[in-house]
Amino acid sequence: MSEMFWPGEHRAGPAMSDQALLDYLIAAENAWLATLVEAAVAPASAAAELDELVTAADLATVAAGSERDGNPVTALVGLLRDRAGADTARWLHRGLTSQDVLDTALMLCLRDAFTTLAGALDQQVHALIGLTERHRATPLLTRTLTQPALPGTAARKFANWLAGILDAVDTLETLPALPVSAGGAAGTLAATTELTGSAEAALALAGSWADKLGLAPAFPWHTTRAVITRTGDALVGCCDAWGHIANDIAAGVRAGELTEGSGGGSSTMPHKSNPVLTVLLRRTALTAPHLGATLHAASAASVDERADGGWHAEWATLRTLTRRALVAASQATDLLSGLRVDTARAATHQREAHGIYAEQQTMAGLTGRTPAAQYLGATDMLVDLVLQRARNHLKEAQ
């Protein structure tokens, strides 16, 4: 995958790459063939390890064939049938349609990505717990609409970021289990019913396929695309949380209160240490929502029993959104792990901010009480509540 147009692209590794998709297309076909054999729908002589019939050199052939047929599955099945024994060639892919295989392969790709993403989010939770605890008493001016507002603490700022990350985690964890797609040519399981002799047996066969792949059985979803849009929304939600953090850090860097652990250089100004990770996270947060919107537009464009373009618009969009989220997850982890606070400068800014105790004086006038030495309200309690939520999550994740 190119790294020139999207600095940090390498951090996503093989996730959602062409090779990963090809591997999972083969895995889906392989598991279906094994399911047919185990159910005695296909003869034992049809059994084969289909991955042994394809090499990385075949990737370009399958990709080129995908334009001819509108998707890569038909080209792959043709290649497998050319290289397989007669019984294998006769039985592989029987009962499936290209959308079943491609949608199922995408779910397998997403499963890998979600595993990586969950690990990164947990690392960020750990990092933010550490920052919050270390800076419990560090003064940090609050700002609203860019202006000084009230006295605050760095701990409250970091706890707010932590709550956003935990919200993203909650969204991911409440997603339904990733499903197989097993509808057949028109979403009716007609071919599988014909092969097995009954609708009940056809549904059981689809369930066995799901078990083999470690996915969930599901009602055919060829043109009911909530599986895709919910996934996209969860990924965008993660990018939103990182964008909020990046925006706050950018403002803190400008004020001299926050510093990245390892800033980037300038080609012409050697004195600079640019907040590069912060900038790259903001970039992702700016572009992710549009990718999510494209997935919704594609879903809304579904028609009949197989979509004529909406489905096709999803693949690259989902890949791009997923890979960018993985890149951002890695960058956010590094950013939070190395973030530094200039406690002296932060304290000075709060001490010198004009008018930040005006509300306190008004409240004291209304109540008749002597103004407290600090005006932090329920800050400590709010911080404790978020920290407890974070620790509960980490305990449950063990």
Is 306 an active-site residue?
Answer: yes
266 is known as an active-site residue: yes
Residues with Cβ within 8 Å of 251's Cβ and at least 6 positions away in sequence, in order, are: 143
The b-or-e profile of 216-245 (16+ CB within 10 A means b, else e) is ebbebbbbebebbbebbbbbbbbbbbbbbb
Nearest-angstrom CA–CA distance, 46 and 61? 25
SS3 state of residue 257: coil
Among 45, 262, 266, 273, which one carries the catalytic annotation?
266
Say which residues have a Cβ less than 8 Å from residue 12's Cβ, sequence separation at least 6. 1, 322, 323, 324, 326, 327
* Catalytic one of 81, 94, 306, 389: 306
Q: Give the closest residue to 329 by CA, choosing from 172, 145, 153.
A: 172
Q: How far apart are CA 111 and CA 100, in angstroms?
A: 17
For residue 384, give every residue at least 6 positions away whose Cβ sits within 8 Å of its Cβ, in sequence order, or none: none
DSSP string, 174-217: TSPPPBP---TTTTS-HHHHHHHSSHHHHHHHHHHHHHHHT-B-
Contact partners, residue 266, CB within 8 Å, separation at least 6: 272, 274
Residue among 55, 20, 24, 83 at smallest CA distance from 212: 24
Q: Which residues pair with 259 in a beta bridge?
A: 340
Pairing of strands 147-148, 258-259: unpaired
Two tokens, residue 117: 């993403």
Residue-wise DSSP of 135-172: TTT-B---EETTEE-S--BHHHHHHHHHHHHHHHHHHH
3-state secondary structure of 232: helix
Residue pointed to by tokens 């990092």: 127
CA dihedral 8, 13, 16, 22 (to 10 degrees): 140
Q: Which positions are annotated as active-site residues?
A: 266, 306
